[in-house]
Amino acid sequence: MILDNIAVFSTKIPLKKPFITSVRQTEVIEDILVRIRSDELEGWGNACVIPVITGTEKEAIVKDLEKLSKILLGDIEKDFNGIISGIYREKVSNVALAAMDIALHDIFSRKAGLPLAEFLGGSVRPFPICATISLLSPDEMAEDALKLRSEGFSLLKLKVGGNPDLDFARINSVHKAVGEKVSLFIDVNQGWNLDDALSVIKRLSDAGIVPTGIEQPLEFSNYRGMETLKAATSISIFADESANSLSMAMKIITERISSGINVKLQKYGGLRAASIITDWSELSGFKSMAGCMMESPVGVWAMAHLVASRNSFVLCDLDPLVMIRDNPVCSGSQCRAGQMEISRDHGLGISSIDDIKMIKEYWR
């Protein structure tokens, strides 16, 4: 395939209410989008702009995309694998790489006449997703949980971290409000030390609360602590920030430092790297959950197609779609009643995107 045109855009998508974790608070999703074109076909990809999490500023993403664009537009015709391998060899940020990787998967699956999930070797199928509750007071979190249960969610992810007593009260309050039929998954975002984690787990057990998993309880570099915690509890411990690169993810899976890993396209550089980690995790008898950043539906749907292409994800946390006020990305995919329903249209199935501002455009 010969690419003719690549354009880079910025977008800001307001949330219904602030999203709060132990690390940050935000009221808007900010993405850099890339659109690649070849003849009548186009493909979309996204890079999230969250420097506090990814370490990459907006200006650096735009610069990286310029570098990748010039390579791709100057390229002689190659097959899909050749082009994807080529961009992974470039020294660029993982978020910019993810944007281009997703756009290339989109345009090549459109060219093949397949939904992305089928292009990745799977099938289009609906699957359940969880909804995330921001870190707030125990009463406010219980109120949010009841609302989400009434919308059809039977799995809730609670953001906690920072104060183990208050964190136990938060989890207990939500559990009491929604009852046994709603499963709870806890994301600590590095907010506990080992003693905090052991004490909260003991108190949960005493209260008869069994979370389906605990994500990133300890500081990201505390691999030894995570191994100790994993050995001390039957609750699955998932690594998120501890597995922030392909090499860290491979180490955690190979050495079985946690019970599972949170796979996100923006962390690893896109669908190619995330597929490798997912498959390696499955072949190793390790657990994978599907995650995403606070990012636009472009990236959420790309991850959703990866989920549909595999049978290995034990949990799918893809809920920016639930949190945004209006969705500017037009496609047949949707999320309703706790279910993700991806479109059968080719590629990511995106027909257009509203409210975007072009930053740069490159021609062959």
Which residues are at the interface with Mg ion (CB under 5 A)?
A: 187, 215, 240
Minimum distance, C-beta of residue 189 to Mg ion, in the bound complex (Å):
6
Closer CB to Mg ion, 106 or 240, in the complex? 240
CA dist 120 and 348 (Å) reads 12
Closer CB to Mg ion, 3 or 252, in the complex? 252
Closer CB to Mg ion, 263 or 335, in the complex? 263
CA dist 272 and 101 (Å) reads 7
Nearest CA-CA partner of 16 in 319, 265, 290, 304: 319
CA dist 33 and 330 (Å) reads 14
Closer CB to Mg ion, 64 or 215, in the complex? 215
CA dist 60 and 83 (Å) reads 22
Closer CB to Mg ion, 120 or 186, in the complex? 186
Minimum distance, C-beta of residue 239 to Mg ion, in the bound complex (Å):
9
CA dist 354 and 14 (Å) reads 13
Q: Which residues pair with 315 in a beta bridge?
A: 289
Beta strands per DSSP E along the chain: 5-20, 25-38, 41-48, 127-128, 131-133, 155-159, 183-187, 213-215, 237-239, 260-263, 287-290, 313-316, 329-331, 334-336, 339-341, 350-353, 357-363
The residue nearest Mg ion at its CB is 240
SS3 89: coil
Beta strands per DSSP E along 249-346: 260-263, 287-290, 313-316, 329-331, 334-336, 339-341
Closer CB to Mg ion, 109 or 244, in the complex? 244
Minimum distance, C-beta of residue 318 to Mg ion, in the bound complex (Å):
13
CA dist 96 and 215 (Å) reads 26
Minimum distance, C-beta of residue 67 to Mg ion, in the bound complex (Å):
29
Minimum distance, C-beta of residue 171 to Mg ion, in the bound complex (Å):
16
Closer CB to Mg ion, 190 or 296, in the complex? 190
CA dist 259 and 60 (Å) reads 34
Q: Write out the two tokens for 319.
A: 């809920």
Closer CB to Mg ion, 196 or 215, in the complex? 215
Single-letter code of the amino acid located at 223: Y
Minimum distance, C-beta of residue 258 to Mg ion, in the bound complex (Å):
12
Closer CB to Mg ion, 221 or 351, in the complex? 221
Minimum distance, C-beta of residue 274 to Mg ion, in the bound complex (Å):
15
Contact 199, 175 (CB under 8 A): no
Nearest CA-CA partner of 157 in 140, 134, 180, 176: 134
Minimum distance, C-beta of residue 191 to Mg ion, in the bound complex (Å):
11
- Torsion, CA 231, CA 236, CA 237, CA 241, rounded to 10: 150
CA dist 71 and 104 (Å) reads 13
Minimum distance, C-beta of residue 317 to Mg ion, in the bound complex (Å):
8
Minimum distance, C-beta of residue 298 to Mg ion, in the bound complex (Å):
20
Closer CB to Mg ion, 65 or 214, in the complex? 214
